[in-house]
Amino acid sequence: MKHFRVAALVPRVNVADCSYNTAEIIGMMDDAAFKGVALGVFPEMSVTAYTCGDLFHNDTLLDGACKALAQIVKASERHSAVWVVGMPLVLCGAVYNCAVFVQSGRVAGAVPKCFVPNYNEFYEERWWASGIGVDTTIKLPGVNEFTLSYRLLFETPDGVRIAAEICEDLWAPVPPSTYAAMAGADIIVNLSASNDLTGKYEYLLDLIRQQSARCMSAYVYSSAGYGESSTDLVFDGKAIIAENGSLLEASERWQRDPHCVIADIDIESLRHDRVHHNTFNDCRKAAGRESDSYSVVKLSSVPSIGDGETLLHYYTPTPFIPADTADVGRRASEIINIQCAGLARRLQCTRTRSAVIGISGGLDSTLALLVTVKTFDMLGLDRKGVVGVTMPGFGTTDRTYNNALTMMSALGITIREIPIAPAVEQHFKDIGHDKTVHDVTYENSQARERTQILMDVANQTGGMVIGTGDLSELALGWATYNGDHMSMYSVNCSVPKTLVKYLVKWFASKSTDEQERKALLDVVDTPISPELIPANPDGQIKQITEDLVGPYELHDFFLYHMIRFGRSPRSIYRLARQAFSGSYPDDIILKWLKEFFRRFFQQQFKRSCLPDGPKVGSICLSPRGDWRMPSDASAALWMAEIEELKS
């Protein structure tokens, strides 16, 4: 199962009124089941309400809770979903605060609260015993016999494992969910009754996000809301769903009516991260018995999400770009500083005071130039040590040429102009190539001539050639081998094309030079092209890269999900259809998905000999670090799967 639908549900309660509370719970169960929920989580003590105080030791309330459970179990016969409700259970003279799992007319099991607080406003030890060490069976009137244990996992037929902890358990130095995750729990549920205090909500959100990240799990949190006693505390009805460090959904607080949040958990991505990061498995080994002593309760089938159904999980079409606009400046500054720090170290350790860059007036060379100039400023070096070389060729347009000159002039670097047409024409004569044939030889001869010029100018100046190629081009192999493919340090090697555009636009927003700002914004708006084919009669760019290899926003999406989560073509296609709905029709997405995988495998040999360059994000294709793949690996399995998608 690749996605699993969960809900955090907050009913309205009446304190100690089990009949009222049960009706509210059952009503929300029916609504959530209608929405295809496979797992629904209610708050701590949702059957009785949390604020019953000393009534928790009263037989009438305890008996009422048991009768309520029987009603909930009976109502669950209408659904195949798993429901988790909070209630007190009595065992051997002690009362336990429990999360009870119910499915299809049966109690699957119950998990007691381990850490029972007795500080500040919480006096829970007065009523409840700690569930640590509890592992037994229990039989209540009107329901089946079931296990009550602090070491339980609940497993669906598809292999999705669910564990529970209750409120304070999350706040412990080592939450029970840590061991449960190492025992295989994909989803942690938390039944809580967390009162609201000034500043507490933000702290709690961080706690939930961080725990889901450490456990590489989903975390479904439901907390008590309206109807709880307000004698001393107030409860704001928090419903939160997080996944591996990211907040998926959070309800509006202070609602007086029953409410819930629903999300589809990406089980596939969680499993990938656990396999890929062996620290997780090493921790499991180190934990030993603590993670090995869990019992697994088998559940029956739960509702599944159809292939054509829209996922309740947002997948951004631009995964490399910050979603929060308020975060734009901080993220851009961080990326640029990583690039500059890498280049600064390389310049210092080689005692190099000159950097040579081929400036085309396109996105990649513009970003490389801006990073290099900023690095020289950081090191206190004269900007004249940055040598920008513009090399007009057969396809160079006035637009890119003028933008290149404007930027170099505004930045105050050394400008050199070396036309390549005469040298390339001589080369055509030498190898016997007809210059009217605009094939790969025609194009690559220009790219290699430019690289030769840059390398030789670097020798002249005692400098190094700064590479301009980006991550997207490396993934597609859209570079001339031993041409623009090669440099002495590649500052953009882990920056994808969509992010390059974002960073250049950010630089433009920071520029105080009006000419520079206009040139940068025009670079952003210029069609992406290697300009190796003569321009149209009207002087406009003829060779548009995205017409040839496909839209970079699609390829960056494919790249992110393949490398970051190891997704299959089928999975990527489904997510892309949802992310780009209304932007690209399905057949276009599939066309370029096939092209992506074909080129990715075919062009690995270019990535196997990349120059050094800094890693700026979670995706990198360096053969020395993140991506190690044989150059002759077969794409047959991936291409066959894509062909199946066509049929």
- Number of other residues whose CB lies within 10 A of the CB of residue 18: 24
Q: How far is CA 106 from the centre of its chain?
A: 37
Strand 414-417 versus strand 161-166 pairing type = unpaired
349 as an active site residue: the answer is: no
Question: Residue 638 and residue 629: Cα distance in Å, rounded?
Answer: 15
Q: How many residues does the chain have?
A: 647
Q: What is the DSSP letter of 195?
A: B
Q: How far is CA 5 from the centre of its chain?
A: 18
Amino acid in the structure at residue 305: I
- Number of other residues whose CB lies within 10 A of the CB of residue 188: 29
Q: What crossing angle do the helices spanning 363-379 and 514-525 adopt, rounded to 10°? A: 140
52 as an active site residue: the answer is: no
CB contact burial 325-349 (16+ within 10 A = b; e otherwise): eeeeeebbeebbbbbbebbbebbee
- How would you list the strands of the sheet with 355-358, edge to edge? 414-417, 386-390, 355-358, 464-467, 489-490
Which of the following is catalytic: 18, 24, 66, 113? 113
Question: Residue 269 and residue 326: Cα distance in Å, rounded?
Answer: 27
CB contact burial 378-391 (16+ within 10 A = b; e otherwise): eeebeeebbbbbbb
CA distances from residue 317 to 202, 250, 434, 580, 591 in whole angstroms, order as listed = 28, 22, 43, 6, 17
Question: Residue 314 and residue 264: Cα distance in Å, rounded?
Answer: 9
Which of the following is catalytic: 2, 18, 24, 44? 44
- How would you list the strands of the sheet with 246-250, edge to edge? 246-250, 239-243, 218-223, 187-192, 161-166, 152-155, 295-298
Q: Residue 420 is encoded by which pair of tokens?
A: 């390549």
Question: Residue 425 and residue 443: Cα distance in Å, rounded?
Answer: 12
Whether the CB-CB separation of 460 and 389 falls below 8 Å is answered with no
Rg (CA), the chain: 30
Strand 82-91 versus strand 39-41 pairing type = parallel
Q: State whether residue 533 is helix, strand or coil.
A: coil
44 as an active site residue: the answer is: yes
SS3 letters for 218-264? EEEEEECCCCCCCCCCCECCCEEEEECCEEEEECCCCCCCCEEEEEE
Amino acid in the structure at residue 338: I
The Cβ-side half-sphere exposure at 624, using a 13 Å CA radius, reads 8
Helix (H) or strand (E) holding 444: helix 440-461
Whether the CB-CB separation of 320 and 12 falls below 8 Å is answered with no
Which of the following is catalytic: 18, 52, 98, 167? 167
Residues taking part in catalysis: 44, 113, 167
